[in-house]
Amino acid sequence: EQQLGFADFIMRSRYTSIAGQLSRDVFVVCLQTPHCQWLSPLRLIQIAMKGFFSELRSEMGNKMHATIVEGQTGVSVLGYDTNNPKQALAHAAQAMVSSK
């Protein structure tokens, strides 16, 4: 039930541009960063990630937020790590595995 709730949330999140579920416990979320010429790309990524997780807590509650935050997260930045979405997904998966 939690997985269905989270899957629904990531599809509706205002920060999500692409989302999917790779396996039972593995979700993929591509966050859209805000556009601002005065802030660095790193700061824009921080804003998008913080907004996504704040929205998660607000909509899904503290328990679900804690479950997701305590899980593993892999991050890849499209346009920085690679320009290829498939490669970005591979980089994020590598980051997740190496954090174990």
Rounded distance, CA 77 to CA 16, Å? 14
Type of residue numbered 69: V
Q: Contact 11/18 with Cβ under 8 angstroms? A: no
- The per-residue DSSP string of 4-65 comes to HHHHHHHHH-TTEEEEEEEETTEEEEEEPPPP-TTS-HHHHHHHHHHHHHHHHHHHH-HHHH
Count of domains observed in the chain: 1
Tokens of 23: 């396996």
**Phi and psi at residue 3, to the nearest 5°:** -65, -40
Structural domain including 82 reads 2-98
Q: What is the pLDDT along the chain (100 residues), one digit of tens a residue?
A: 788 888 899 999 998 888 888 888 888 888 888 888 899 988 988 999 999 999 999 999 999 899 888 888 888 887 777 888 888 888 888 888 776 6
Rounded distance, CA 9 to CA 16, Å? 10
| Residue 94: per-residue pLDDT | 85
